[in-house]
Amino acid sequence: MPTSRISMRFDKVKAEGRAALVTYIMAGDPDLETSYDALCAVRDNGADIIELGAPFTDPMADGPAIQKAALRALANKTSLNDVLALAKRFRETDQETPIILMGYANPIHTMGYEAFAASAAEAGIDGTIIVDLPPEEDQPIRDAFAAHDLSVIRLATPTTHEARMATVAEGASGFLYYVAVAGVTGAGSADPEDIRAGVEMAQRVSGLPVCVGFGIKNGEQAAAMAKIADGVVVGSAFVEQARLATVAKTPQVTAEKMGLLARELSTALKGDVPA
Amino acid sequence: MDLRNSWDQWPDEHGRFGDFGGRYVAETLMPLILDLEKEYRAAKADPAFSAQMDDLWAHYVGRPSPLYFAERLTEHFGGAKIYLKRDELNHTGAHKINNCLGQVLLAMRMGKTRIIAETGAGQHGVATATVCARFGLKCVVFMGETDVERQKPNVFRMKLLGAEIVPVSSGTGTLKDAMNEALRDWVTNVENTFYCIGTAAGPHPYPELVRDFQSVIGKEARAQILEREGRLPDAVMACIGGGSNAIGLFHPFIEDDEVRLIGVEASGHGIETGQHAAALNGGAPGILHGNKTYLLQTDDGQIIDAHSISAGLDYPGIGPEHSFLRDTGRAEYLTCTDSEALEAFQLCTRLEGIIPALEPSHALARVSDVVTGLDKDGLLILNMCGRGDKDVFSVAEALGVDM
């Protein structure tokens, strides 16, 4: 059952007394084969949950790193069906690591919410984070997801006051993604103390695990954020590995570099930061 | 439900015009746009707000703008009488300031001190920079690199007015990319910043409030034609990029079933070439920039860059109310190519002594089709939404003239 894959993963992580490592990889950047290797590499190096980015031409909540990653993936003609196929391929050999598809509404709307839900479930995807579908607009997709046990993972932010958090929590499932800084992905990092109260409120109001993302780039930052959250999300720093490898014309090292980054982060979350 | 039951009940409480519109924004912005809606309702009910708007419209913008009988254009086409609603005579040279004044006054009511805007042709940027100068507010304008190049006079104007210009290089460096960048700035500076959107698009309540502020155009035109001709026009026409001047002209006539509402989209090099900006005639419904509306997009839901000779129409979407008016059949949407717009630009300049902006030149190019289909005593109002001073360089280039 897809929903339980997410909750089982949080149960496992909790039992180990640590926060979950959530890693973001843009599907098709620089190509789908590399993305598949990267998924395996981050999983093998301690990623607990994988956010699989579906590229969109106009990612209005993303900073330059993820914008450019999306354009690289699109230059390579990565379609939403390709992203689903990539997830399916990964799922063939991994029944446990939750995969969350992250992207924007339009490609999914174009495919049709029902058709997408059926394909996503068949591919072994566990849920979605759709940046531009706030609670006011996600009812149609929640209806489509209900039949397939797919989670709608919602965003909470420092601008989400308590009354608003109730709206965010209502109908959310899987976990909440707490955006640490008001801004775009890959921008400045937040001081965990500044958002501690917001994260606690999100946990209390939703009753769901809360993962914090935006601006977390290395093991030190991840370990600090892990103290106040159920999980930490790292995105732009992974995408940056794909860019560096592409620029150096060595795309084949992308997966290896992402694996090393995942290792650094997961080690930090386990408490023994390497010297 | 008959969606046409009452045209002016839209948007509904969800910010929808039928299936279009809505609030498709990142969660960071949701509390803010809900606040904006509340503040707009309060302002609408506040006589002091409308008194301040009326005063600025009369003495700062120069409203009402004239309704001018274009005698020689009428003779030239030999059809119905053509009236031009002269919004190009507004302060700053276009209709854009109608909306900027309203939004900046709202921003001040909300205690915001920094105004951001996107601009294509630069007209909305100039209008926003102008109003910010008038009220002493910081102004940052996002403008695609391509547009910065083809609209140099407006870039300099904005700088003179004290605005900071941020050239946007992502995508093709046009209006869509400027809007993405403005949204990214807004999400980053949500506490002190107000996003002054230039067209009747974006998340609710923007399409509604921009329409309401621009409706001064149609309200005046309706009163003026009744006074001049003693009856309503047979058709009203306007060009459409995002569609703010068109919705402003259309909306006060929307309950008048006998008045045809005609929008003209930019078909660039021709819809069949794929290089155009005609979202309604060459696009499909989708979700972008906070609203559901017709968009230029691939079969896989990726946005296609628009093309138009007119920077102000060079946008792959359209305001959601136009999508609704199209699907319900209340309004008609025609198209005009780059070269047809250039012809109309020159024709109007020579026959009427009015240099139109390239944007309304698109509507002008379809006037002959409409007036020749009407009786000689028929009446048509066309919104002359901007003047062409800003376009003389790009027109010269298109005509192969070396200045």
- pLDDT tens by residue, B143-178: 999 889 878 888 999 999 999 999 998 877 888 899
Domain that holds residue A191: 2-269
A109 vs B: CB within 8 A: yes
C-beta of residue B178 within 8 angstroms of C-beta of residue B119? yes
- Judge: domain B64-93+215-398, CATH 3.40.50.2300: no
Q: Which residues contact A197 (CB under 8 A, 6 or more apart)?
A: none
pTM for the whole thing? 0.95
How much is the mean pLDDT over chain A? 94
Q: What is the pLDDT of residue A10?
A: 97
Residue B38 reports pLDDT greater than 90: yes
pLDDT band at A272 (very low <50, low <70, confident <90, very high): low
Cα of A14 to nearest chain B Cα, Å: 28
Residue B3 reports pLDDT greater than 80: no
- Record: fold of B30-56+96-210: Rossmann fold (3.40.50)
Q: What is the pLDDT of residue A188?
A: 80
C-beta of residue B106 within 8 angstroms of C-beta of residue B135? no
To the nearest whole percent, how much of chain B has pLDDT over 90?
89
A157 vs B: CB within 8 A: yes
pLDDT band at A55 (very low <50, low <70, confident <90, very high): very high
Cα B303 to Cα A118, B134, B347, distances in angstroms:
24, 37, 35
B295 vs A: CB within 8 A: yes
State how far the Cα of A41 lies from the Cα of A56, in Å rounded to an integer: 24
Q: What is the pLDDT of residue B181?
A: 94
Chain A neighbours among B 25-84 (CB < 8 Å)?
A: 25-32
Instruction: Kindly provide the b/e burial profile for residues A200-211, where b requires at least 16 CB atoms within 10 angstroms of the residue's own CB.
Output: ebbbebbebbbb
How much is the mean pLDDT over chain B? 95
Nearest CA in chain A to B34: A164
Q: What is the pLDDT of residue B369?
A: 96
A40 vs B: CB within 8 A: no
State how far the Cα of B248 lies from the Cα of B256, in Å rounded to an integer: 15
Q: Is residue A182 part of a domain?
A: yes
Residue A3 reports pLDDT greater than 60: no
Q: What is the pLDDT of residue B6?
A: 78
Q: What is the pLDDT of residue B5?
A: 58
Q: Is A44 an active-site residue?
A: no
Domain tally, chain A: 1
Mean pLDDT of B357-367: 97
Q: What is the pLDDT of residue B14?
A: 95
**Is pLDDT larger for residue A65 or for residue A271?**
A65
State how far the Cα of B356 lies from the Cα of B376, in Å rounded to an integer: 25
Mean pLDDT of B357-368: 97
Residue B94 reports pLDDT greater than 80: yes
> Is A58 close to B23, i.e. CB distance below 8 A?
no
**Complex confidence, ipTM:** 0.95
Mean pLDDT of A180-205: 91
Mean pLDDT of B101-105: 97
Q: Residue A230 maps to which CATH number? A: 3.20.20.70
Return the biggest CA–CA distance within chain B. Answer: 58
Q: Is A193 an active-site residue?
A: no
Q: Is residue A228 part of a domain?
A: yes
State how far the Cα of B32 lies from the Cα of A98, in Å rounded to an integer: 33
Nearest to A42 by CA among A94, A2, A114: A94
Nearest to A178 by CA among A210, A220, A136: A210
Mean pLDDT of B3-30: 90
pLDDT band at A1 (very low <50, low <70, confident <90, very high): very low
pLDDT tens sequence across A90-148: 999 999 999 999 999 999 999 999 999 999 999 999 999 999 999 999 999 999 999 99
Q: Is residue A274 part of a domain?
A: no
C-beta of residue B15 within 8 angstroms of C-beta of residue B21? yes
Residue B1 reports pLDDT greater than 80: no
State how far the Cα of A52 lies from the Cα of A25, in Å rounded to an integer: 5
Cα of B317 to nearest chain A Cα, Å: 12
Q: What is the pLDDT of residue B4?
A: 56
- Is cis: bond before A2, omega within 30 of 0? no
pLDDT tens sequence across A99-113: 999 999 999 999 999
> Is A161 close to B24, i.e. CB distance below 8 A?
no
Question: What type of residue sits at position A14?
Answer: K
Instruction: Kindly provide the b/e burial profile for residues A46-65, where b requires at least 16 CB atoms within 10 angstroms of the residue's own CB.
Output: bbbbbbbbbbbbbbbbbbeb
Q: What is the pLDDT of residue A275?
A: 38
Mean pLDDT of B183-193: 93
Q: Which residue intervals of chain B bear CATH 3.40.50.1100?
A: 30-56+96-210, 64-93+215-398
